[in-house]
Amino acid sequence: MTTRVAVVEDDARYRGSLETLLRHTDGFEVVGVYPTGEAIVQALEDAPAWDLVLMDVELPGIDGIECTRRIKARHPGSRVVVLTVFEESATILEAICAGADGYLVKRTAPARLVLALREVLDGGSPLSAGVAGTVLALLRQEAAGKGPWREGATRLGLTAREQDVLRCLVEGMPYKTVAGHLGISLDTVRSHVRGVYAKLQVHSVAEAVSRAIRERLV
């Protein structure tokens, strides 16, 4: 099945490199290219839902985080991967809370970028190495400053294993990696994820990660 991709990037050179990469990668079809936040917001009115959106953060006018929020509100099933030069904790957290399914820096090698996009389509939430470290630091800071995170998870009825799976998702692991890390089958991971979704009242990995971070659940 072909993945319909939209690219939102104001840097013409980088935008062109993304187009070239995706057009020469099996399984991807670039169906929209937008140089500004306003352009993709306008396209939301008429364009069918994209399967995947590559989103810059710093855009003229409407920024990428607000664009992500609007895309997710209108097309919850669309996957949004942030591609940016910013690795500041505030930007990362804001993007995740807006619904981003992945957060990668622009220096990510093309081969790794393609793998990360496939991870997103497989249900993962890929993070660049530095970004993953920042997210984990945020989790530790929040836990140290506001008490044990598991109290909130217990209140919501998450089992110990569901909490383990949720923690892996927060760290950006795709389902297959979660299975290997926890020593369980892929089907069992999917079953636990469904349980997490039901108890957190969310419908995607991004929403689950966002709530986990906001409410200190892991």
Q: How much is the pTM?
A: 0.67
Domain boundary among 131, 165, 180: 131
Give the chain's domain count. 2
Q: What is the pLDDT along the chain (218 residues), one digit of tens a residue?
A: 899 999 999 999 999 999 999 999 999 999 999 999 999 999 998 878 899 999 999 898 899 989 998 998 899 889 999 998 877 767 777 788 788 888 888 988 999 999 999 988 988 878 776 776 666 666 656 555 544 444 455 567 888 888 889 888 888 788 888 899 999 888 889 899 988 988 888 887 777 887 787 777 76
Of 33, 120, 27, which Cα lies nearest the Cα of 82? 120
Amino acid at 65: I
What pLDDT is recorded for position 15?
95
Q: What pLDDT does residue 47 have?
A: 77
Output the six-digit token pair for 46.
């008429």
The residue range of the domain holding 211 is 147-215
Write down the pLDDT at residue 150: 45
Looking at residue 101, which CATH number applies to its domain?
A: 3.40.50.2300
CB contact set of 125 (below 8 Å; sequence gap of 6+): 101, 102, 119, 169, 172, 173, 174, 205, 206, 209
The encoded tokens of residue 203 equal: 């419908």
Q: Does 59 map to a domain?
A: yes
Cα–Cα distance, 153 to 159 (Å, whole number): 8
Of 74, 102, 131, the domain-final residue: 131
Answer yes or no: is 138 within a domain: no
Burial of 198 (0-12, 13-18, 19+ CB in 10 A): exposed
Looking up residue 154, the CATH number of its domain turns out to be 1.10.10.10
Q: Is the sign of the CA dihedral 40, 15, 85, 4 positive or negative?
A: positive
Q: Do residues 36 and 96 share a domain?
A: yes
